[in-house]
Amino acid sequence: MLFLSKDLISLDYEANDAEEAIRAAGQLLVDSGAADSSYIDAMLASYREKGPYFVLAPHIALPHAKAENGVSEASVSLVRLKRPVRFGHPANDPVELVFALGSSSSSDHIKLLRKLTSLLNDPANIEAIRAASTGEDIEALLGKTV
């Protein structure tokens, strides 16, 4: 399981639109070896077909696709955008934090979602992620809370 280690985090990334933001978060999964580049295309296809329903909370998006779209390991990356962008969600735009979720069919998938859910259920953690200066800061936060 690869969960928000510092090489899966990119802070103050400059994206012009939602697709660039999704691509960047997906690229972190690809660079870590957790997913194939086909997974990025599948996340983008899902966004185009099904819309921005995965913007699950104010300023937070969790793009993902299916495990069979090219994921080898359950994983979560984070891109924090320098300038928030609109995903087209009626209530939760604009998006600042993009957590790409590498879905897997293993039991790790549920463990991973549980970790991510308990992290994001606490507004103090979200504030800390928005305020962090480095990926190491976020890694340290996770060590404490998850």
Partner 1 sequence: MKILCVCGLGQGTSLILRMNVENVLKEMGVQADVEHTDVSTASATPTDFIITSNELAQSLQGHSAKIIIVNNYFDLNEIKESLSAAL
- Site mask, partner 1, residues 56-95, x = CB under 8 A? xxx-x-x-xxxx---------------------xxxx---
Candidate list 1, 11, 120, 142; residue touching partner 1; CB under 8 A: 120
DSSP SS3 for 90: coil
143 lines the binding site for partner 1 (CB under 8 A): no
Tell me the residue type at 5: S
Nearest to 34 by CA among 80, 66, 70, 79: 70
Helix ranges (H only) for 3-133 are 18-31, 37-50, 108-120, 123-131
Nearer of residues 23 and 89 to partner 1, judged by Cβ: 89
53 lines the binding site for partner 1 (CB under 8 A): yes
Nearer of residues 6 and 106 to partner 1, judged by Cβ: 106
